[in-house]
Chain A
């Protein structure tokens, strides 16, 4: 064998950590799939298409448990003004400099299982009954902060537009490309707001101007900012994060 002195494209030392990571990954996945079977004794394994399918099935089971644990009469804790977190942390699926300004002639569109599908310009929303709250906003990442919002209780709004309150979902679309959806029971919980104000001033774009959802009984990613459309529906609407694998109910 002739010895050549060609510099290899890859040196073992360079890829060792990556190989190690893949090896461990593979080990964990194999080990864990055994446990996956233990969890899935009630499932038809002939249609079982992998660990992700199993995890998704368990998340749907978790959603049913969360729905059963939810009580519309249980209130999120409220705090004094002195407890408000300052400075309040900006959070979105994009960086703060990418925040969109409010479009000209903005109005909230309403569709689906509702009697009155007229769009709502801002002054009309401001004329509805208002309510304020100082509650804890809990992010799915684990951090939390206490903020103050006020606006129209979503239940008041849904009744005003003659929504079918037995429908399963209320879906939200935002003009920044975000979307989310919640169950009707949580939508009607009295602390769920269509917020117009943050702290004591009208919402500014980074806090969700001109209108955002504020729902303290769910994780932060459900409190969609920069709303432009609400739909009441029985067809599962999903959402930006929900479609990527966050659990849909996301109750706290």
Chain B
């Protein structure tokens, strides 16, 4: 192996492109989803009208049933890339309980180290979790879009009304992730730069190699 080997980029171009397409597609899904929810709220609250996308139920559904294709294409491309490139194996493997306890403790004391290109246990948990949540959300979405043609899938989730409730609950989970993620990015603004342009991986100090 050459000693001049260039250092790995924190986020390869493919990941950066798929990330921002995903942000756009997920934004369309969430904001149009709020407008759809408002047509027949199942909980005693409405989402603010200004935050809804589509203007009315028909417009919101048109957005939702359009952006879903973009999200699906982006998500499938990301999953293929994640397995083929080793990104999932290298970066998003579920952390060990000990590593998670250690990093979560540091994070809660605002002492968690962040090195671009390296994923600590909290990041592994959050990013792995949101990938699973989006997959699950796609499945509950399919179940309530086609509860007869995909009756088996609606059955897996306990039938149409339960699947609809789960679709709402998982959306709230994804929104909670976004709030946390954006907060953490605000604490480490250099991570935003590394998701926009090519930034080399930060070198690892001796004895600091992640577990």
- Inter-chain CA distance A23–B137, complex, in Å, is 30
Whether the Cβ atoms of A58 and B62 lie closer than 8 Å is yes
Whether the Cβ atoms of A246 and B58 lie closer than 8 Å is yes
Question: Does chain A have a CB within 8 A of B177?
Answer: no
Chain B residues whose C-beta falls within 8 Å of the C-beta of A81 in the assembled complex:
none
Given A142-B40, A142-B164, A252-B146 contact (CB < 8 Å): yes
Question: Does chain A have a CB within 8 A of B24?
Answer: yes
Given A38-B70, A59-B62, A144-B160, A216-B40 contact (CB < 8 Å): no
Choose among B51, B151, B161 the residue that contacts A144 (Cβ–Cβ < 8 A): B161
Question: Does chain B have a CB within 8 A of A132?
Answer: no
Given A39-B66, A252-B148, A31-B24 contact (CB < 8 Å): yes
Question: Does chain B have a CB within 8 A of A188?
Answer: no
Whether the Cβ atoms of A70 and B58 lie closer than 8 Å is no
Closest beta carbon of chain A to B67's beta carbon, Å: 7
- Interface size, A (range): 35 or more
Output the nearest chain B residue to A57 by Cβ-Cβ distance. B66
Closest beta carbon of chain A to B105's beta carbon, Å: 38
Question: Does chain A have a CB within 8 A of B198?
Answer: no
- Inter-chain CA distance A39–B72, complex, in Å, is 12
Whether the Cβ atoms of A74 and B42 lie closer than 8 Å is no
Whether the Cβ atoms of B148 and A217 lie closer than 8 Å is yes
Question: Does chain B have a CB within 8 A of A247?
Answer: yes
Whether the Cβ atoms of B66 and A59 lie closer than 8 Å is yes
Chain A residues whose C-beta falls within 8 Å of the C-beta of B135 in the assembled complex:
none
| Segment at the B interface, from A4-12, A106-114, A119-127, A133-141 | A133-141
Whether the Cβ atoms of A69 and B58 lie closer than 8 Å is no
A interface footprint on B40-63 (CB within 8 Å = 1, 0 otherwise): 101000000111010001110111
- Inter-chain CA distance A121–B28, complex, in Å, is 50
Given A32-B28, A74-B151, A142-B36 contact (CB < 8 Å): yes
Whether the Cβ atoms of B148 and A74 lie closer than 8 Å is yes
The CB with the most chain B CB atoms within 10 A, among A32, A75, A138, A241, is that of: A32
Could you list 28 examples of A-B contacts with CB < 8 Å?
A24-B50, A28-B31, A28-B53, A31-B27, A34-B24, A35-B25, A39-B70, A55-B62, A59-B62, A59-B65, A59-B66, A62-B65, A69-B146, A69-B149, A74-B149, A75-B148, A77-B148, A138-B160, A141-B40, A143-B42, A216-B148, A217-B148, A241-B58, A245-B62, A251-B149, A252-B145, A252-B147, A252-B149
Closest 10 CB pairs of A and B: A245-B58, A141-B40, A58-B66, A21-B50, A141-B39, A55-B62, A142-B40, A143-B40, A35-B24, A76-B148
Q: Which residues on B are within 8 Å of A, measured CB to CB?
A: 21, 24-25, 27-28, 31, 36-37, 39-40, 42, 49-51, 53, 57-59, 61-63, 65-67, 69-70, 144-149, 151, 160-161, 164
Q: Which residues on A are within 8 Å of B, measured CB to CB?
A: 17, 20-21, 24-25, 28, 31-32, 34-35, 38-39, 54-56, 58-59, 62, 66, 69-71, 74-77, 136, 138-144, 216-217, 241, 244-247, 251-252
